[in-house]
Structure 1
Amino acid sequence: MRRRAFTLIELLVVVSIIALLIAILLPSLQRAREQAGRVVCAAHLHQMALGVTSYTVDSKGRLPRVMATGGVHSFATYWINEYTVTGPATTLRRVNLGLLMSFMPDPQSYYCPSVNANERHSLSFNGPDNTWNDGIGDSQHRLRSSYVARSYVTIRDDIGDLDWVAADFSNKVIYSEFYMVDQWSGGGILNGEISAPHEAEGYNRLFGDGACRWINAAPLEAERPINTFVPLSFEVLNYYAVLDREP
C-alpha cells in the first residue's frame, strides 16, 4: 500500500511551525549566549585582578602605568603597546594592561567575547587595526585591548613619575569595558570601529580591591548619551564618578 504524500498545505503548515519555533527560540538562544559572554568577560577581569596584584607586589604598590592617546582624560586607554621615542629611535613598549603580559600570557584574556563577536570591532582580538602575531603580539603594530584603564594620568615617552597607587583605588574602578563611545571611528581606527559591548546594555568593571561588578547602561546614559561623539575631559571624569558610585 502506497503511503500518502504530504500535500502542499501540510508542508506549508510544517514550515510555518518550524519558522515560529525558530522565532520563539532564537532570542532566548541569543540571550543565553550574551549571558555566557558576560560571565567569561567577568572571569577575564578577575584574572586581571590577580595579575594586577602580582604587578603591584613587584612595583611597590603601584598599578600598571597608564598611557592614553588624545589627552590627559582621554577614553583611549585601551593600548597594550604603543610607540615611544628614545633618542633618535622610535620603538614599541608595553603600556597599561600590556604590563601584565608576564602574569597573563594568554592574549585572549585581554578581550571580551562580546567584542570578539563583532568582526568590525577594532578592539577585538586580531580585529581591524589590531593585528596579533603568534599569540604574543606583532612587534610592528600597536595593539589594543577591549578593556580600558582608568583615565587618570597620561604618561608619554616615560617622562615623569606615575602616582597611580593601588591603595588609593581600592573602592574605585581601575579597568572596565566602558569605552564612552559607540560606533566610533577616527584617529588610528581606520578599518573598523569601536562599539559598545553586550549590545550596549551594560558593562563589567574591575575595582581596585579585586571586585568585578556589572553596571547597567542607564545611569551612564543619564550622565551623557553614549554615541559617536568623543566625551570632553569633564565628561570623562563624570562618567568615572558614576562607575565608582553605582553598586
Structure 2
Amino acid sequence: MRRSWGQRVLQAAALTTFLVLLGLTIFLFREGMPALYREPYRDLRFGVHAENPLTHLSADQVRSLVRKERQWADYGGPDAPVVAVHLSNIERYVQGNASVEKIKLVIDSLAQLPGVLLALPPALFPTKAKPITVSWNGWREIFASSQWSPTYEPVPSVGFLPLLLGSLWVSIIGLLVVVPLGIAMAVYVVEFLPKRLYYPIKILWELMAGLPSVVVGFWGLVVVVPWVQRAF
C-alpha cells in the first residue's frame, strides 16, 4: 500500500525525534557519569593551620565551614572562627592587580591563622600549611543532597532533588495552564473550524504532538534564545 505524503512526513519526524533523543541521552550520560567518581575539585589542594588536628573532611563539611554554617569545633577542630581562602574570595585580601608574589605573601600570612581553611591550586598553596584530604561521594552528592550550586567554590553542590522538584512545579503549573487551553482549542477545531482548514490544522497538530518537550526545549535553547539575545 502506497503511503501518503502526510504519513511519510510523520515517519520522518518520528525518526528524527528518536535520533535526537538518542544523541541527547548519549551526550548527557557521557558528560554526567564522571561526576559519580571524579572530584570536581581535583585540581585544588586543601589545607589548614599546622596545629589544626583535623586531617580529613568530607565535601559537605567543607561547604558547611565555607558558608559559616558550622565551626571548626563542630568537627573536632580548634575553637577559632573559620577563615576560608579560595580563588573566589581571594580578592577580599589582595587587590585585583596584585602580582603573583604579592598574592603568595598574603596567602602565607593567612595560613598562620588558627581557623584558616585553604582551597588553592598547588602553585599558590603555602608551604607552612598542613594539607588535608577531602572525600567526595558522587552517589550521595547527586541523589541525597538538597542543594544545587554547580559553580559554588571551592566545593560545588550537585544535588538532583532541587532539579526534580523544579521540574514537578513547572509541570504542575504547565498542566493548569495548558489543559484548559488545549481542551478549548480541540473543541473549536472539531466543532467550529471550517472544513477547508480542518485537515491542514489537524496534520500540523499531530506533528506538534509527536515532538517531545525535550526536543522543543533543546530547539528553543539553540535557536530561540540566541535570537532573543541578539534582538534585545
Structure 1 length-normalised TM: 0.27
Higher gyration radius (CA): 2
Higher relative contact order structure (alpha carbons within 8 Å, sequence separation ≥ 6): 2
Larger strand share, 1 or 2: 1
Larger helix share, 1 or 2: 2
